[in-house]
Each structure stands twice: as structure tokens, then as C-alpha cells.
Amino acid sequence: MKTICIIGASGFIGSYLFNFLDIQLKENFTIKGTFFSHKKNPHYEFLDITNESCIEHYLLINLPSFIILLAGTKDVKRCEEDFNYANALNTKPVENIIKIVTVNKLNTKVIFFSSDYVFDGERGYYKDIDNPKPNTNYGETKVLAEQLLMQSNIDFKIVRPSAVMGRGGIFFDWFLESIKNQKEVKLFNNTFFTPTPIRFLNEMILRLVWDYDKIHNKVIHIVGEKRLSRYDLALLLSSFIPERRAKLIPGIVDFKSSLLKKDLSLVQSAFTKSHQKKNFYEYMKQEVSDDKAN
């Protein structure tokens, strides 16, 4: 049976994706996942993505049909303080995977998770054909990884999500807890993004695996269809919570002292738009309902 290796399966996105694909593709693929410091699933295998030999050993044993590369760092602040740290986790592993797949002539397709931070966030509504223009080390190392893939001869797709939302996510869990237990919750209303519901992302990756050879685009924006501020998102989420207590207070980001960007909203790729099953509100309502049931 063919194998899909999710590198970075112990993270928020990876753990959801592993469980989802393991159910949806069990008749066609063996789903394998890796971890580095948190083994959330007994089936996960250890992998140090900063060690080329470790990566090569893992890939040559598993000979995956697909690599879904999620591992890396999303710590924008630390990346800004230490470019070498960002490069070692976000760029170098991609370079090594390309080398290993090429040298060993592996019949492996790579789905690489990039970021909305490949853009500078000055104007928003970025399309998948727009040229990246990062202004953070985090974004720069993601762009460098994208460029390595573009310059290679391996088979790949680049997925750019934006602020993936769902139960287990830092912002999502913090907000639901705060709205129920605090008197006031302050959220920024002058910084914009296009949040991506975690279930929607899972569905799109499943479709991407099934239709991979039919999709000619190398870069795919998988995001929700709504451009929102954090305050806008909070208003939406709170509308699904009858037991809410906190008053929502709009706040302003000082962009001179913050790594947040004015507008990192992305425009859905045609692939994403054509396969979306529900609207953004329905996905988010389901996430809130699931939280209430737990």
C-alpha cells in the first residue's frame, strides 16, 4: 500500500490532519506521522528535521508517495531575533528533502506548508500569482523554501494557509475561555487576515491528494473566504456562544512595535473555491459547537 508521511504530525494542524487522513484514506494509503518533542500518538515516529541523515533514513525506509511537510517553526518573534534558527527549521529541511528525493530518485510528491507571511501585509488580498515580498525572517525563510522547490525537479505543491482556527489552536481556545469567564476581552480591529477553519483545511488537503495530478498550479491558497480583523472574528465566534459573559472591546495595533501586519488576507485559489463544501460561518459554528460538547 502507498504511504503518506506527515512530517510534523504532532503539531496542531498535523494532529488533526493525521487523524482525518487516516480515516478518509485508510483503504488506499498508510498514513505515517513524525514527532520531535511531543509524541501525541503512539504511532508517530521520531524525526529530527535539522538532521539530514535522520531525514534520509526515514524517507528511504518509508518510500512515501507523498510527503506533507508541516514541521518547522511558526515563532515569528524568535525567528526575528535569530535568522539562523528560522533558516535551520524552515528552509534547510526543504533543501535536504529535495536533495534526498533527487539523489535517490524517489517517486515522491511533496506538499509543503508555507505561510501568509511570505507577503509584507501592506495591502492584503494577495493572490497565489502575486510575487512574495516578506519583511520578517519567518516569512523570508518560507520564501526561500518555496524558491528551492520552484528551482528543483521534484514534484511539489505549495500550500499557503492563514491563521488556522479550531479547537486546540492557541487563539481559538484562549478566546472561548475568555469570552465565558472574563469581564472584557480586547481584540485588535486594525489588522486583517483570512482565517482558515481546520476542518476546511483537512478537506482541501484530502482533495489535493486525490486530484494532485489534475492540479497544474504549484501554489495554492487554502484560506477561508472572509477577510476579518481579530475583533470581527471574535464577534462572529461570540454569536455562537449563548453563555458568553465578556464584553468585546476593539483595540489598535501599534505596528511600529509589533510583528503583526496590517493586512495579510489571501484570496482563495480557484482549486480551493471550487471544492469548498460549506461557508466560513458554518465551519466556525461547528468548531464552537464541538468545544461546547467537550
- Is 274 contained in some domain? no
Burial 193-209, CB ≥16 within 10 A → b, else e: bbbbbbbbbbbbbbbbb
How do residues 128-164 score in pLDDT, each as one tens digit? 999 999 999 999 999 999 999 999 999 999 999 999 9
CATH number of the domain that residue 255 is part of: 3.90.25.10
pTM of the model: 0.95
Q: Greatest CA separation found in the chain? A: 59
How do residues 48-81 score in pLDDT, each as one tens digit? 999 999 999 999 999 999 999 999 999 999 999 9
- Helix spans in 72-191 (H): 76-81, 83-90, 92-103, 137-151, 170-181
Per the structure, the count of domains in the chain is 2
**What cell does 131 get?**
510575487
Three-state secondary structure call for residue 39: coil
Same domain as 261, residue 204: no
Same domain as 177, residue 97: no
Average pLDDT, the chain: 95
What is the per-residue pLDDT for 35? 96
How do residues 74-127 score in pLDDT, each as one tens digit? 999 999 999 999 999 999 999 999 999 999 999 999 999 999 999 999 999 999
- Is 117 contained in some domain? yes
Same domain as 63, residue 39: yes
Three-state secondary structure call for residue 59: helix
Same domain as 86, residue 32: yes
CATH number of the domain that residue 92 is part of: 3.40.50.720
- Is 272 contained in some domain? no
Q: Is 294 a residue whose pLDDT tops 70?
A: no
Same domain as 121, residue 45: yes
Same domain as 189, residue 204: no
> Cα–Cα distances in Å, from 94 out to 73, 125, 214, 237, 288?
13, 27, 24, 36, 35
Alpha carbon distance 45, 153 (integer Å): 28
Look up the domain containing 245 and give its range. Answer: 167-193+226-265+279-293
